[in-house]
Amino acid sequence: MPETRLPTPHYLIDKSRLLPNLEKIAWLREASGAKSLLALKCFATWSVFDFMSEYMDGTTSSSLYEVRLGREKFHGETHAYSVAWADHEIDEVVGHCDKIIFNTLGQLSRFDAASRAKVRGLRVNPGVSSSSFDLADPARPFSRLGEHDPAAIERALGEIGDISGFMFHNNCENGRLERFGE
């Protein structure tokens, strides 16, 4: 057998191994009416984006370059969320996304004018979690991921302007769903 030299690093993706998960995603989308977004923070291998986009609605991104990657390579909806956006990048982020989620009321207020033409949301931290992995738990005590105070959110939204919804982000390791009624 002749020796074949592949450039390194070399990533080989077996689409037949991805397909069962993509089919589950497609079924869930159809059965529930929910949208499914690929988190580019977790998987940004754009060589399979055309294949994946047949089963998913778009991407969610946590940086300017992820937003651009989603817009340029995935060809679906492009959602943007980051704990912090820099003043010098917000116009480009807004130019490449369909929807932007802000981490705090301060962030929403700061970028109100720049983002007004987009669908906007706010991250809410419910402060409820049964995850045992504190390091990666966005709802852990003293977390700065999302707004905690419902009264402050209600007051500020009257002053700042429109948002279309809220994002709640919790770890998938939460084993006690009944706690979310608290």
Could you check whether the bond before residue 138 is cis, i.e. omega within 30 degrees of 0? Answer: no
pLDDT digits (tens, 9 = 90+) for 8-31: 888 889 999 999 999 999 999 999
pLDDT digits (tens, 9 = 90+) for 77-109: 999 999 999 999 999 999 999 999 999 999 999
Q: In order of start, what are the domains of the chain with their CATH numbers?
A: 39-48+58-181 (3.20.20.10)
**Is it the case that residue 1 has pLDDT exceeding 60?**
no
Q: Are 118 and 164 in contact (CB under 8 A)?
A: no
